[in-house]
Amino acid sequence: MKHSLLILISCFLVVGCASNKEIIQIPILFNDERVALTKEYLQQRYGLEQEAPEIIPRMIVLHWTAIPSLKKSFEAFNRPTLPNWRPDIESVSGLNVSAHFLVDQDGTIYQLMPENIMARHVIGLNHCAIGIENVGGTDDMPLTKKQLAANIYLVKQLASKYPIEYVIGHHEYTHFENHPLWLEVDDGYRTTKTDPGADFTNKVRQANKKFNFKPVPSK
Ligand SMILES: [Zn+2]
Protein backbone atom coordinates (compact mmCIF):
# COMPACT_ATOMS: atom_id res chain seq x y z
CA MET A 1 0.00 0.00 0.00
CA LYS A 2 2.67 2.43 1.02
CA HIS A 3 4.68 1.46 -2.00
CA SER A 4 1.87 2.20 -4.45
CA LEU A 5 1.21 5.51 -2.74
CA LEU A 6 4.82 6.43 -3.23
CA ILE A 7 4.63 5.53 -6.92
CA LEU A 8 1.47 7.63 -7.25
CA ILE A 9 3.14 10.63 -5.61
CA SER A 10 6.20 10.18 -7.82
CA CYS A 11 3.98 10.18 -10.93
CA PHE A 12 2.35 13.44 -9.86
CA LEU A 13 5.76 14.97 -9.30
CA VAL A 14 6.97 13.95 -12.76
CA VAL A 15 3.78 15.23 -14.43
CA GLY A 16 4.00 18.39 -12.35
CA CYS A 17 7.55 19.06 -13.51
CA ALA A 18 6.67 18.34 -17.15
CA SER A 19 3.80 20.82 -17.09
CA ASN A 20 5.88 23.56 -15.46
CA LYS A 21 9.06 23.66 -17.49
CA GLU A 22 11.34 26.47 -16.46
CA ILE A 23 11.91 29.26 -18.97
CA ILE A 24 15.28 30.88 -18.35
CA GLN A 25 15.53 34.62 -18.89
CA ILE A 26 18.61 35.75 -20.84
CA PRO A 27 17.54 39.13 -22.24
CA ILE A 28 19.24 40.47 -25.36
CA LEU A 29 20.35 44.09 -25.39
CA PHE A 30 17.27 46.26 -25.91
CA ASN A 31 18.63 49.78 -25.53
CA ASP A 32 17.26 53.10 -26.80
CA GLU A 33 18.82 52.47 -30.23
CA ARG A 34 17.06 49.10 -30.59
CA VAL A 35 13.74 50.61 -29.46
CA ALA A 36 14.12 53.40 -32.04
CA LEU A 37 15.09 50.97 -34.84
CA THR A 38 12.16 48.68 -33.99
CA LYS A 39 9.70 51.59 -34.12
CA GLU A 40 11.28 52.68 -37.39
CA TYR A 41 10.89 49.14 -38.78
CA LEU A 42 7.19 49.09 -37.84
CA GLN A 43 6.72 52.46 -39.53
CA GLN A 44 8.78 51.89 -42.68
CA ARG A 45 7.96 48.25 -43.44
CA TYR A 46 4.36 48.11 -42.20
CA GLY A 47 3.15 51.73 -42.05
CA LEU A 48 2.46 51.38 -38.32
CA GLU A 49 3.11 54.50 -36.21
CA GLN A 50 3.39 53.41 -32.59
CA GLU A 51 4.45 55.02 -29.32
CA ALA A 52 6.06 51.74 -28.26
CA PRO A 53 7.31 48.81 -30.41
CA GLU A 54 4.64 46.50 -29.06
CA ILE A 55 2.70 43.69 -30.74
CA ILE A 56 -0.41 41.66 -30.02
CA PRO A 57 0.71 38.08 -30.77
CA ARG A 58 -1.58 36.26 -33.23
CA MET A 59 0.96 33.92 -34.75
CA ILE A 60 3.95 31.82 -33.71
CA VAL A 61 6.79 31.27 -36.17
CA LEU A 62 9.22 28.38 -35.62
CA HIS A 63 12.86 28.64 -36.75
CA TRP A 64 16.29 27.11 -36.54
CA THR A 65 19.39 29.24 -36.15
CA ALA A 66 21.75 27.10 -38.30
CA ILE A 67 24.31 28.20 -35.69
CA PRO A 68 25.90 25.33 -33.74
CA SER A 69 25.79 26.64 -30.15
CA LEU A 70 23.56 28.48 -27.72
CA LYS A 71 26.27 31.05 -27.03
CA LYS A 72 26.90 31.89 -30.69
CA SER A 73 23.14 31.96 -31.40
CA PHE A 74 22.62 34.39 -28.52
CA GLU A 75 25.50 36.56 -29.73
CA ALA A 76 23.96 36.70 -33.21
CA PHE A 77 20.78 38.24 -31.76
CA ASN A 78 22.23 40.34 -28.94
CA ARG A 79 23.57 43.38 -30.78
CA PRO A 80 20.92 46.00 -31.70
CA THR A 81 22.13 46.54 -35.28
CA LEU A 82 22.77 44.13 -38.13
CA PRO A 83 26.45 43.26 -38.58
CA ASN A 84 27.98 45.33 -41.42
CA TRP A 85 24.99 47.68 -41.39
CA ARG A 86 25.75 51.07 -42.82
CA PRO A 87 23.38 53.85 -41.72
CA ASP A 88 24.03 55.66 -45.02
CA ILE A 89 22.25 52.89 -46.95
CA GLU A 90 18.65 53.94 -46.61
CA SER A 91 15.64 51.69 -47.32
CA VAL A 92 17.30 48.74 -45.58
CA SER A 93 16.56 48.61 -41.86
CA GLY A 94 19.55 48.34 -39.57
CA LEU A 95 17.56 46.54 -36.88
CA ASN A 96 19.22 43.25 -36.01
CA VAL A 97 17.32 39.99 -36.25
CA SER A 98 16.15 38.29 -33.06
CA ALA A 99 13.43 36.07 -31.65
CA HIS A 100 11.49 35.93 -28.41
CA PHE A 101 12.65 32.44 -27.45
CA LEU A 102 15.72 30.33 -28.09
CA VAL A 103 15.62 26.56 -27.50
CA ASP A 104 18.91 24.75 -26.99
CA GLN A 105 19.64 21.25 -28.30
CA ASP A 106 18.94 19.79 -24.83
CA GLY A 107 15.44 21.31 -24.84
CA THR A 108 16.18 24.13 -22.39
CA ILE A 109 14.01 27.15 -23.20
CA TYR A 110 15.52 30.64 -22.98
CA GLN A 111 13.54 33.86 -23.30
CA LEU A 112 15.43 36.67 -25.04
CA MET A 113 12.84 39.45 -24.98
CA PRO A 114 9.23 40.14 -23.88
CA GLU A 115 6.56 38.41 -25.96
CA ASN A 116 4.73 41.68 -26.65
CA ILE A 117 7.73 43.52 -28.16
CA MET A 118 8.45 43.20 -31.89
CA ALA A 119 11.35 40.99 -32.93
CA ARG A 120 12.68 40.94 -36.49
CA HIS A 121 12.43 37.29 -37.55
CA VAL A 122 9.90 36.98 -40.38
CA ILE A 123 9.28 39.33 -43.29
CA GLY A 124 5.74 40.71 -43.49
CA LEU A 125 4.51 39.39 -40.16
CA ASN A 126 6.75 40.65 -37.33
CA HIS A 127 3.98 42.98 -36.15
CA CYS A 128 1.93 40.00 -34.91
CA ALA A 129 4.35 37.08 -34.61
CA ILE A 130 6.22 35.52 -31.71
CA GLY A 131 9.46 33.89 -32.88
CA ILE A 132 10.89 30.65 -31.48
CA GLU A 133 14.45 29.87 -32.58
CA ASN A 134 16.09 26.47 -32.16
CA VAL A 135 19.86 26.05 -31.89
CA GLY A 136 21.18 23.99 -34.80
CA GLY A 137 19.28 22.76 -37.83
CA THR A 138 22.27 21.90 -40.00
CA ASP A 139 23.13 18.40 -41.33
CA ASP A 140 25.80 18.14 -38.63
CA MET A 141 23.42 19.28 -35.91
CA PRO A 142 19.77 18.49 -36.70
CA LEU A 143 17.01 19.56 -34.34
CA THR A 144 16.47 17.09 -31.47
CA LYS A 145 13.49 15.33 -29.93
CA LYS A 146 14.03 17.42 -26.80
CA GLN A 147 13.75 20.58 -28.88
CA LEU A 148 10.55 19.28 -30.44
CA ALA A 149 9.09 18.59 -26.98
CA ALA A 150 10.15 22.05 -25.78
CA ASN A 151 8.55 23.73 -28.83
CA ILE A 152 5.32 21.79 -28.25
CA TYR A 153 5.33 22.90 -24.60
CA LEU A 154 6.09 26.53 -25.42
CA VAL A 155 3.40 26.77 -28.11
CA LYS A 156 0.91 25.34 -25.62
CA GLN A 157 1.86 27.97 -23.02
CA LEU A 158 1.71 30.84 -25.53
CA ALA A 159 -1.56 29.72 -27.13
CA SER A 160 -3.11 29.57 -23.66
CA LYS A 161 -2.01 33.16 -23.03
CA TYR A 162 -2.55 34.94 -26.37
CA PRO A 163 -5.12 34.81 -29.22
CA ILE A 164 -2.82 32.71 -31.42
CA GLU A 165 -4.45 31.90 -34.77
CA TYR A 166 -1.52 30.41 -36.65
CA VAL A 167 1.55 28.32 -35.87
CA ILE A 168 3.86 28.20 -38.89
CA GLY A 169 7.35 27.21 -39.89
CA HIS A 170 9.50 30.02 -41.26
CA HIS A 171 9.56 28.09 -44.56
CA GLU A 172 5.81 28.80 -44.89
CA TYR A 173 5.85 32.58 -44.42
CA THR A 174 5.35 33.53 -48.08
CA HIS A 175 1.97 31.74 -47.99
CA PHE A 176 0.73 34.86 -46.17
CA GLU A 177 1.60 37.33 -48.96
CA ASN A 178 -2.08 37.93 -49.81
CA HIS A 179 -3.34 37.54 -46.23
CA PRO A 180 -4.74 40.50 -44.24
CA LEU A 181 -1.94 40.03 -41.64
CA TRP A 182 0.76 40.58 -44.32
CA LEU A 183 1.97 44.18 -44.08
CA GLU A 184 5.39 44.32 -45.80
CA VAL A 185 5.28 47.27 -48.22
CA ASP A 186 8.10 46.16 -50.55
CA ASP A 187 7.11 43.41 -53.02
CA GLY A 188 10.78 42.84 -53.77
CA TYR A 189 11.84 42.20 -50.17
CA ARG A 190 11.80 38.40 -49.77
CA THR A 191 14.26 35.76 -48.62
CA THR A 192 14.06 32.00 -49.27
CA LYS A 193 13.72 29.98 -46.05
CA THR A 194 13.74 26.24 -45.37
CA ASP A 195 13.67 26.30 -41.55
CA PRO A 196 12.56 24.40 -39.57
CA GLY A 197 10.90 22.11 -42.15
CA ALA A 198 7.48 20.51 -42.59
CA ASP A 199 8.11 17.50 -40.32
CA PHE A 200 9.08 19.51 -37.23
CA THR A 201 6.37 22.14 -37.79
CA ASN A 202 3.59 19.59 -38.39
CA LYS A 203 4.50 17.69 -35.22
CA VAL A 204 4.30 20.89 -33.13
CA ARG A 205 0.91 21.76 -34.66
CA GLN A 206 -0.43 18.22 -34.31
CA ALA A 207 0.48 18.06 -30.61
CA ASN A 208 -1.40 21.33 -30.06
CA LYS A 209 -4.41 20.61 -32.27
CA LYS A 210 -6.80 21.27 -29.36
CA PHE A 211 -6.24 24.99 -30.02
CA ASN A 212 -7.73 24.69 -33.53
CA PHE A 213 -5.12 26.85 -35.22
CA LYS A 214 -6.15 28.05 -38.67
CA PRO A 215 -4.59 26.25 -41.65
CA VAL A 216 -1.74 27.96 -43.46
CA PRO A 217 -3.17 29.64 -46.60
CA SER A 218 -2.41 27.85 -49.86
CA LYS A 219 -0.38 29.76 -52.43
ZN1 LIG B 1 14.01 31.38 -39.63
- Considering only 16-20, 41-45, 129-133, which range has the smallest mean pLDDT? 16-20
Confidence class of residue 13 from pLDDT cuts 50, 70 and 90?
very low
Judged against a pLDDT cut of 70, whether residue 8 lies above it is answered with no
Judged against a pLDDT cut of 90, whether residue 199 lies above it is answered with yes
In 3D, which of 217, 172, 177 has the Cα closest to residue 193? 172
Confidence class of residue 12 from pLDDT cuts 50, 70 and 90?
very low
**φ, ψ for residue 91 (rounded to 5)?**
75, -20
Give 166's strand partners: 59
pLDDT attached to residue 84: 78
In 3D, which of 39, 215, 10 has the Cα closest to residue 127? 39
Query: Is the torsion defined by CA of 176, 180, 184, 186 positive or negative?
Result: positive
Strand bridging mode 109-111 / 23-25:
parallel
Confidence class of residue 14 from pLDDT cuts 50, 70 and 90?
very low
Q: 212: CA distance to ligand 1 center in Å?
A: 24
* Rg over CA atoms, the chain: 19
User: How far apart, in Å, are the Cα atoms of 122 and each of 45, 60, 107, 188, 189?
Assistant: 12, 10, 23, 15, 11
Question: How do residues 129-181 score in pLDDT, each as one tens digit?
Answer: 999 999 999 999 999 999 999 999 999 999 999 999 999 999 999 999 999 99
Q: 6: CA distance to ligand 1 center in Å?
A: 45
Q: 192: CA distance to ligand 1 center in Å?
A: 10
Confidence class of residue 87 from pLDDT cuts 50, 70 and 90?
low
Instruction: Please indicate, yes or no, whether the overall pTM of this predicted structure exceeds 0.95.
Output: no
Judged against a pLDDT cut of 90, whether residue 10 lies above it is answered with no
At residue 24's C-alpha, the angle toward residues 19 and 154, to 5°, is 40
Residues flanking ion ligand 1, Cβ below 5 Å? 63, 170, 195
